[in-house]
Amino acid sequence: MLEKADTLTADCPGRPTLIEKAPMRIRSSLAIAGGVAAGLSACAGRIAHQQLYAARYNASLAEVARTPTTKQRYGAIAAITSGDSSRFKFEDGLIAAQVGVLPTAVRIRVQNKTDQSIKVIWDEASFIDVDGTLSRIMHVGVKYADRNSSQPPTVIPAHQRLADDLFPTNRVWYRQATARLTAGYQNGPLLVPAYTISQQGEPASAPPDSFSTAVRSHVGRRFAIVIPFEADGVKNEYTLWFRVDDAAVKALAPTP
């Protein structure tokens, strides 16, 4: 538990694959499972003895960074703590929040602690990948086809709560129809690489070394969601930094 204030410290391989949302577990496990198996089986099923492998990342909220103006106006950040279902909690004078990492999204619950409405400025929100790459984000209710268009702010009335899931738009892609799957938009996982198919001619007892190395190289690295809240006409930017605490590779059960 951190106690500092203010700065608490594809359908074939090569394309993203749909990952179904899963309940947040202890330390927010990003398990790349059922949806991947379904999507990759269309490829793997064509070659005998192929084995599907998926990455499993554990991430925790490590730091909440704010602008100097926000620090001065709304005071210190309370300690980051682990809440129900392993959501991580923090609060200051403006908001009280719970956040958690899902396989394809960051889930947030934000309470407006003030006596006036505040706004979430979605057009200025972003996702920072482990390699520093920036992406716009979209949230529940935004059509996939409109993900690169302007998104109107969400108003949180005084003392009310917002619950939402946030997705990087650069993880969204359109899948063409296959023999097993219909055409449609899909969310890729937050962290990549997410999966691989063994190319060995016999059942593989271990995933390719290059895949395992790439997955485990994320341990200790950080990614973030940047969310601006507007209160009294002033924007207050919150950067939620998540740390990858653990990473492993898991063999997926064969899909008939």
> Rounded to 10 degrees, what is the CA torsion of 53, 208, 133, 101?
30
In order of 41, 133, 250, 255, the CA distances from 202 in angstroms are 17, 38, 18, 17
**What single string gives the DSSP state of each residue in 83-126?**
-GGG-EEEE-SSEEEEEEE-SS-EEEEEEE-SSS-EEE-GGG-E
Dump pLDDT digits (tens) for 207-238: 788 899 999 999 999 999 999 999 999 999 99
Question: Per-residue pLDDT tens for 129-163?
Answer: 999 999 999 999 999 999 999 999 999 999 999 99
- DSSP-derived 3-state class of residue 220: coil
Above 50 in pLDDT, residue 67? yes
Indicate the DSSP class of residue 176: P
For 18-27, 61-70, 217-226, which range has the lowest pLDDT when averaged over its residues?
18-27
Phi first, then psi, for residue 213 (nearest 5°) are -65, -45
pLDDT bucket at 87, cuts 50 / 70 / 90: confident
The answer to whether residue 191 scores a pLDDT higher than 80 is yes
Determine the pLDDT at residue 128: 98
In the predicted structure, residue 242 carries a pLDDT above the cut 90: yes
State the pTM of this model. Answer: 0.79
Position with higher pLDDT, 187 vs 219: 219
